[in-house]
Amino acid sequence: MSSIQDIQNEIIEEFEILGEDKESTIYYIMELGGQLPKFPEEERVDENIIKGCQSKVWLATRENGDKIQYLADSNTDITKGLISLLIRVLSGRTPQEILKADLDFIDKIGMGNIIGSQRSNGLSAMIKQMKLYALAYQAKQNV
């Protein structure tokens, strides 16, 4: 499996191909969201909604040995695309890897300029929730 940094570098390269074309970039992000696996209906509960997002975003986890698998969905295509990028980078990692991850691809692809301040706040809330889950799993593993 590629490292977190390797996956971030792949994402950066993909977005570099799109150049400064904001419309194509947004379309690509929405396309990525369409590739997320189907979100389990039983996980579509209020406890799994990420607070701080303008759109509804559901985030759930599964344990896979010592690694965390993230599952997510959103009621908007662009937000679904954003969470899919985070899942691509962080899912299938140990809690320690997730907590140490410096998600520099977000700044390097200029995501703030692409999605605006409201969605940037939502993206930060998604990252925070993913790291909180990792922290909870780490605490559980250390018991």
Strand partners, 93: 68
Instruction: Write down the pLDDT at residue 113.
Output: 83
> How would residue 141 be classed by pLDDT, with cut points 50, 70 and 90?
confident
Predicted TM-score (pTM) above 0.75: yes
Q: Could you tell me which residues come within 8 angstroms of residue 62 by beta carbon, excluding any fewer than 6 positions away?
A: 68, 69, 71
> Would you give the distance in Å from CA 112 to the centre of its chain?
15
Q: Could you tell me which residues come within 8 angstroms of residue 141 by beta carbon, excluding any fewer than 6 positions away?
A: 66, 95
Instruction: Write down the pLDDT at residue 115.
Output: 85
The residues annotated as belonging to the active site are 53
- Would you list the DSSP string of 64-103? ETTEEEEEEEESSHHHHHHHHHHHHHHTTB-HHHHHH---
Question: Considering the chain, what is the average pLDDT of its residues?
Answer: 93
> How would residue 44 be classed by pLDDT, with cut points 50, 70 and 90?
very high
Question: Taking residues 34-61, what's their average pLDDT?
Answer: 94
* Greatest C-alpha distance within the chain: 49
> Would you give the distance in Å from CA 64 to the centre of its chain?
18
Architecture of domain 4-141: Alpha-Beta Complex (3.90)
Going by DSSP bridges, is the β-strand pair 57-64/67-74 parallel, antiparallel, or unpaired? antiparallel
Residue 120 buriedness (CB in 10 A; 0-12 / 13-18 / 19+)? middle
Is pLDDT of 26 > 90? yes
Is pLDDT of 116 > 90? no
Distance CA 80, CA 74 (A): 5
